[in-house]
Amino acid sequence: MPSIVTAIPAADSAAARAHFAAALSFETDCWDVRHSLAAADFVLIDVRGAEAYARGHVPGAVHIPHGELTEARLRPYPAGTQFVLYCAGPHCNGAHRGALRLAQLGRAVKIMLGGISGWREEGYALEPAATARTAAI
């Protein structure tokens, strides 16, 4: 008798390739973001509330709560800008809400899996509020 894992066969290679390539076009993770920040080829946005952002955020992240992601707030960024959004963590859908808004505005967007809790679980430092940056309105 097969186990629960093998009772449903794995997808064939072509289907698996398409699935995982598609998933990676929607998401990235904390390690990838941390090791890519210096490249400065994306804008990292913390979509949490002001108090949460002030308590600490990913270094280099700008603060735009997901409900405030509008074309006016994004005007400083050229049309081809790649955005990466994060929220509190897997228990929060703020990054998904923000990503939907950006997609509706025709902007390139991914979410950072794990959010701020994933960042901390990886052992990465947070930037304090004293160096906080908020995107221009």
The domain total for the chain is 1
Q: What is the DSSP string of 61-123?
A: -EE--GGG--HHHHTTS-TT-EEEEE-S-TT--HHHHHHHHHHHTT-EEEEETTHHHHHHHTT
Residue 84 lies in a domain: yes
Q: Are 65 and 49 in contact (CB under 8 A)?
A: yes
CATH number at residue 55: 3.40.250.10
Cα 112 to Cα 110: distance, rounded to the nearest angstrom: 7
What's the pLDDT tens digit per position in 81-111?
999 999 999 999 999 999 999 999 999 999 9
Residue 12 lies in a domain: no
pTM listed for this prediction? 0.89
What's the pLDDT tens digit per position in 14-31?
999 999 999 999 999 999
